[in-house]
Amino acid sequence: MPHPDTALPGAPVLDTLETPDAIRNLTPAQLKTLADEVRTETIDVVSKTGGHLGSALGVVELTVALHHVFETPRDILIWDVGHQTYPHKILTGRRDRIRTLRQGGGLSGFTKRSESVYDPFGAAHAATSISAALGFCAARDLKGEDNRVIAVIGDGSMSAGMAYEAMNNAAETTKNLTVILNDNDMSIAPPVGGMSAYLANLVSGGAYQAVRRWGKSVAERLPRSLFELVRKGEEFSRTYVTGGTFFEELGFYYVGPIDGHDMENLLSVLKRVRGITDRPVLVHVVTQKGKGYVPAETAADKYHGVAKFDVITGEQSKPKANAPGYTEVFAAELIKRAHIDPKVVAITAAMPSGTGLDRFSEVFPDRTYDVGIAEQHAVTFAAGLAADGMKPFCALYSTFLQRGYDQVAHDVALQDLPVRFAIDRAGLVGADGATHAGTFDIGYLGTLPGMMIMAASDEAELAAMIATATAYDDGPSAFRYPRGEGVGVEIPALAEPLQVGKGRIVREGSKVAILSLGARLQESLKAADWLAARGLSTTVADARFAKPLDRDLVMQLAKHHECLITVEEGAMGGFGAFVLHYLAAEGALDHGLKIRTLTLPDVFQDHDKPEKMYADAGLDAHGIAAAAMKALGFSDADIAKAAVKG
């Protein structure tokens, strides 16, 4: 049911859906109306919350049709990435909370098991759906049950290796699986690669275009006798519509391409496909990203991820920036380096705008590689470039680099290859939540021998780290920087490389030392002010390098202060652990040093405003100061008083 205060007027079908399964009783005409209503509601919601609008608008009819034809949640419906599921959430018992989307305490912007039984599998990273669906199929088949399992995967996500690993296993695992390939000819940017070209060929092929021209449904055009052949296991797709040989060779029935906005067509195809249990089926559905909302349909990114916006004009209300964003600084600095050094090349895995490499590619189109959603390949591709003397900058979000970890270990680090990892979105990211938090990279990279790791405390430091990585050819290096804007410091015309493995003292004190790695430095300085106001003289140092550790600096801080606090925007097992290992090995912990390692908490933090999440994690100024005071034996009451004073 709608929320009484916020529901849009005039959604007669949606308003009368008492329970999600009521959708199964609707007529095709009502389903069409329902789709229109859901689309209107989705636009209205995202205009107020921000979020992934274009993908959601593209699957409205598909979502309605799937919930009508299949018996969800008994039938398992798995959405790849999950960023397109706002219509699904509206239809599956979450309409009353849909306006809390991506807000603290509210609905997740992705599928999430803890949120609803209609989300049987959580997601946010691409190309997991077919593997997970196969797992559900195998479990079902072992249990002797007969529910259907459906995976919906986008054309962009089809560039990821996992999708092929799963398709390669599908026919051997089960005979009863439906994969819906939602082809809107878009990733976040236009999709790249051979598979994308193959799909485009299928769509531009004569039969699909003819079906559209004649306005007839594919299912209607398909003689029933042919469907009967399918049921008997005969190969029919090549003669049926336009091709799909690739999928057929992997053991799927290929059905399509079909128009994903034509409700009747969708319903009849899905109903027929539902009955196929002798081979996995792949239904190729053609949709339009942003469908039904002109500003989205006409946007270059098809309104992939948007801020709040004015529904009439489509204008997004992005707050005015006070300083350049870290991503922007990365792009600008890399361009400078590439002008000087012809060996500098850049790699993105389907995130050209997110990583700033769209700007780099405007200047150096031949030195930019968008490999699609393929982080594993991106890393090993970079390793190959490095092995042949180039200076590859592999620009990935921290959370997506996780997917290429074995490649980092086996192909890069083990061979000591000078791949430069530009790790964007390091630390908490806010509304995207736990799936996108860049939490683990310090730990997972730090365990690898020979890996140099830097973390930028402001945008000038980021520029210096790019200079350092460009100059450093002795092995792999990484520099991490957060989502959002810098602190407003001046960036030199051409930054100087840093001395490898050396941090810096930012403020001198005597009792407490705060050793910060990365962009919590500003909060550390505020904490030092706070502590100073309590008479606790505080040194603040910027470690710059998690690896190699500035051992002299660490030892000096440990020896000359009563209390040492390390601060990092990462999970435990990272920088603080490296400091502890070193001090323990040197016996520096044997004489009463009060040391605390402040990290992100050992939980997956739900989405919220980043400031709030950092405060919850104890990584804001108050949390840092409180940790120092607590270590020095102050009572909670004293600490609370200090907070009020501060």
Ligand X SMILES: Cc1ncc(C[n+]2csc(CCOP(=O)(O)OP(=O)(O)O)c2C)c(N)n1
Of 13, 46, 57, 81, the one binding ligand X by CB under 6 A: 81
**Nearest distance from residue 351's CB to ligand DXP, in Å?**
7
Question: Which residues sit in the known binding site for Mg(2+)?
Answer: 155, 184
- Among 154-162, 255-263, 424-432, 581-589, the segment contacting ligand DXP (CB under 6 A): 424-432
Closer to ligand X by Cβ: residue 52 or 99? 52
Q: Which of residues 403 and 547 has its CB atom nearest to ligand DXP in the complex?
A: 403
Contact 500, 545 (CB under 8 A): yes
Looking up tokens 């780099």, which residue turns up?
A: 360
Instruction: Please pick, among 41, 375, 523, 569, the residue that the annotation labels catalytic.
Output: 375
Q: Where are the alpha helices (DSSP H) in 318-457?
A: 326-340, 352-355, 357-363, 375-387, 398-401, 405-406, 441-446
Is the CB of residue 352 less than 8 Å from the CB of residue 396?
no
Tell which residue, 403, 400, 448, has the closest CA to residue 426: 400
Q: Which residues are annotated as a binding site for thiamine diphosphate?
A: 83, 124-126, 156-157, 184, 293, 375
| From 121-129, 181-189, 199-207, 341-349, span contacting Mg ion (CB under 5 A) | 181-189
Amino acid making up residue 369 = Y
Q: Tokens standing for 276? A: 């196929």
Phi, psi of 125 (to 5 degrees): -90, 145
Strand pairing of 76-79 and 149-154?
parallel
Residue 373's binding partner among ligand DXP, Mg ion, ligand X, none (Cβ under 5 to 8 angstroms by kind) is ligand X
Catalytic residue among 403, 420, 534, 544: 403
350 binds, among ligand X, ligand DXP, Mg ion, none (CB under 5 to 8 A by kind): ligand X
Q: How far is the CB of 477 from ligand DXP (least distance, A)?
A: 23
**Calculated CA dihedral for residues 191, 193, 194, 198, nearest 10 degrees:** 10
432 lies in the binding site for ligand DXP (CB under 6 A): yes
**CA–CA gap between residue 208 and residue 524 (Å, rounded):** 60
Sequence-distant (6+) residues with CB within 8 A of 566 are 515, 516, 517, 543, 575, 576, 579, 595, 596, 597, 598
Beta carbons of 434 and 112 less than 8 angstroms apart = no
Q: Which residue, among 605, 564, 551, has the nearest Cα to 440 in the 3D structure?
A: 605
Does 367 interact with ligand DXP (rule: CB under 6 A)?
no
Cα 35 → chain centroid: 27
Question: What is the contact mask toward ligand DXP in residues 175 to 204, using x (rule: CB under 6 A)?
Answer: -------------x----------------
Q: Where is the binding site, in residues?
A: 83, 124-126, 155-157, 184, 293, 375
41 touches ligand DXP by CB under 6 A:
no
User: For the chain, how far is it from start to end, CA to CA, in angstroms?
Assistant: 46
Whole-number Å distance between alpha carbons of 513 and 537: 9
Annotated catalytic residue: which of 89, 99, 112, 289?
289
- Residue 375 a catalytic site member: yes
The number of angstroms, rounded, from the C-alpha of 491 to the middle of its chain's C-alpha atoms is 29
**The one segment of 8-16, 78-86, 414-422, 462-470 that binds ligand X by CB under 6 A:** 78-86
Nearer to ligand DXP, 191 or 354 (CB): 354
Look at residues 148, 153, 111 and name the one whose alpha carbon lies nearest to residue 129: 153
Q: For residue 549, state whether it binds ligand DXP (rule: CB under 6 A).
A: no
Give the full edge-to-edge strand order of the sheet including 391-397: 368-370, 344-348, 391-397, 420-424, 477-480, 452-455, 545-547
Site for ligand DXP, residues 482 to 511, rule: CB under 6 A: 483
- Give the x/- contact pattern for ligand X in 302-331, rule: CB under 6 A: --x---------------------------
Q: Does 403 bind ligand DXP (CB under 6 A)?
A: no
413's tokens: 């680090």
**Contacted entry of ligand DXP, Mg ion, ligand X, none for residue 263, CB cut-off 5 to 8 Å set by kind:** none
Q: Which is nearer to ligand X, 152 or 588 (CB)?
A: 152
Strands (E), 260-334: 281-286
Binding mask 141-170 for Mg ion (x = CB under 5 A): -------------xxx--------------
Is 186 a binding residue for ligand X by CB under 6 A? The answer is yes
What order do you get walking across the sheet with 253-259 strand by strand? 76-79, 149-154, 178-183, 281-286, 253-259
Q: Output 375 or 616, the one with its CB closest to ligand X.
A: 375
Give which of 441, 403, 612 is closest to 518, Cα–Cα. Answer: 441
Piece of the chain touching ligand DXP by CB under 6 A; list 5-13, 87-95, 425-433, 575-583: 425-433
373 binds ligand X (CB under 6 A): yes
Tell me if 186 contacts Mg ion by CB under 5 A.
yes
Give the nearer residue to ligand X in terms of CB position, either 77 or 126. 126
The verdict on 610 binding ligand DXP (CB under 6 A) reads no
Measure Cα distances from 400 to 126, 195, 225, 365, 425 in Å: 9, 21, 46, 24, 10
Residue 336 identity (one-letter amino acid): K
Question: Quick check: 424 binds ligand X (CB under 6 A)?
Answer: no
Which range, of 344-352, 568-576, 593-601, 612-620, touches ligand X by CB under 6 A?
344-352
CB-nearer residue toward ligand DXP: 81 or 160: 81
Nearest to 43 by CA among 92, 101, 4: 101
The SS3 call for residue 318 is coil
Residue that is written with structure tokens 């053609």 in the block: 286
**Quick check: 305 binds ligand DXP (CB under 6 A)?**
yes
Please report, as a single letter, which amino acid is at residue 637. A
CB of 412 to ligand X, least distance (A): 18
The residue of the chain with the least Cβ separation from ligand DXP equals 354
Structural contact between residues 599 and 572, judged by C-beta atoms closer than 8 angstroms: yes
Binding mask of the shown chain, residues 603 to 632, with x at each position contacting ligand X by CB under 6 A = ------------------------------
- Window of 77-85, 226-234, 479-487, 555-563 that interacts with ligand X by CB under 6 A: 77-85
d(CA 637, CA 639): 5
Nearest to 309 by CA among 327, 294, 291, 322: 294
Q: Three-class SS of residue 58?
A: helix
Query: Does the annotation count 143 as an active-site position?
Result: no
Binding residues (CB under 5 A) for Mg ion: these are 154-156, 184, 186
Binding residues (CB under 6 A) for ligand X: these are 55, 58, 81, 83-84, 124-126, 154-157, 184, 186-188, 289, 304, 349-351, 373, 375, 400, 403
Binding residues (CB under 6 A) for ligand DXP: these are 52, 81, 83, 188, 304-305, 354, 425, 429, 432, 483
Q: Which residues are catalytic?
A: 289, 375, 403
